[in-house]
């Protein structure tokens, strides 16, 4: 059975990937800071899908957590989903620099290190995939969050090109608003977001797996967000920055 390792696997998009991959028969390695929720999620997946599920409690914003997950990846995984992430409740100028550094460590250094831990083994075996969860925010300008997600998109495309093997794929996943715990944890009020802009986490995971199989470097689930990204690319940066500032995060 192929093995998939998913970070941020206890809720939202990470949990949706866990369900999708369990249904596909993957053996799962679930990574999260919350040991209790990891155990609960693992038991639920085992009962529902009859697959083997391993849990690995780790804080990927720390060197200790990253080293532990790197070691597990080194034992062999066929699919890596770098999904763990968060946002700040305030803007860039209102956020302590240590909080910003923690975000960059999780969104950038963790993605870098875990991808690099996975690719040599995948290339040696001649198969494998890495999905790095970014955001539609990567194509706009709004604080450290969007900047870090832009890095994920650029890095993923670069890694996909450099790996040089047709059966080893690296892709950035860029969803829009998804109904998860993300906004609540970030102290955001999502009530002003129009209902038609919300995506379901399971649909995002399905779209990602389809686009990975097609060999896409960047996956933007849903036609609505494909259109938003396409328009955003045509607008000058100073205008997109103004619009982003007016709309908020």
User: What are the residue ranges spanned by the domains of the chain?
Assistant: 3-247
Query: Tell me, what's the pLDDT at 231?
Result: 74
Query: Tell me, what's the pLDDT at 237?
Result: 57
Query: Tell me, what's the pLDDT at 193?
Result: 63
Query: Tell me, what's the pLDDT at 249?
Result: 45
pLDDT by 10-residue block (mean), the chain, 249 residues: 96 96 98 96 98 98 98 98 88 86 97 98 97 93 88 97 95 86 52 69 97 97 87 62 51
145 labelled catalytic:
yes
Query: Tell me, what's the pLDDT at 107?
Result: 98
149 labelled catalytic:
yes
Query: Tell me, what's the pLDDT at 186?
Result: 44
Query: Tell me, what's the pLDDT at 181?
Result: 53
DSSP 138: G
Total-model pTM: 0.89
Buried-state track 89-109, b at ≥16 Cβ within 10 A, e below 16: eeeeeebeeeebebbbbbbbe
Residues 6+ apart with CB under 8 A from 165: 122, 123, 126
- Strands (DSSP E) along the chain, which ranges? 3-7, 27-32, 53-57, 79-82, 128-133, 168-173, 218-219
Query: Tell me, what's the pLDDT at 208?
Result: 98
Query: Tell me, what's the pLDDT at 98?
Result: 93
Selected catalytic residue, list 149, 200, 216, 233: 149
Selected catalytic residue, list 105, 145, 169, 225: 145
Q: What is the spatial distance between Cα 222 and Cα 156, in angstroms, rounded to a whole number? A: 20
- CATH class label, 3-247: alpha beta
């Amino acid at each position: 059975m192929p093995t998939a390792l998913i970070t941020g696997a206890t809720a939202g998009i990470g949990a949706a990937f866990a369900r999708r991959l369990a249904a596909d028969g993957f053996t799962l390695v679930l990574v999260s800071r919350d040991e209790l929720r990891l155990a609960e999620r693992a038991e639920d997946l085992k009962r529902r899908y009859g697959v083997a599920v391993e849990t690995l409690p780790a804080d990927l914003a720390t060197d200790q957590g990253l080293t532990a997950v790197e070691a597990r990846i080194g034992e062999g995984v066929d699919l890596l989903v770098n999904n763990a992430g968060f946002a700040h409740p305030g803007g860039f100028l209102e956020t302590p620099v240590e909080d910003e550094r923690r975000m960059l460590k999780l969104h950038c250094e963790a993605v870098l290190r875990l991808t690099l831990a996975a690719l040599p083994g995948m290339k040696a075996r001649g198969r494998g995939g890495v999905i790095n969860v970014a955001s539609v925010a990567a194509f706009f300008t709004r604080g450290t969050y969007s900047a870090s997600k832009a890095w994920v998109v650029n890095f993923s495309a670069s890694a996909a090109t450099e790996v040089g093997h047709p059966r080893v794929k690296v892709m950035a996943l860029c969803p829009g608003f998804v109904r998860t715990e993300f906004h609540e944890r970030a102290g955001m009020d999502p009530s002003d977001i129009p209902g038609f802009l919300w995506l379901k986490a399971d649909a995002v995971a399905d779209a990602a797996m389809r686009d990975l199989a097609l060999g896409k470097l960047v996956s933007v689930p849903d036609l609505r967000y494909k259109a938003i990204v396409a328009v955003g690319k045509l607008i000058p940066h100073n205008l997109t920055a103004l619009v982003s500032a007016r709309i908020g995060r």
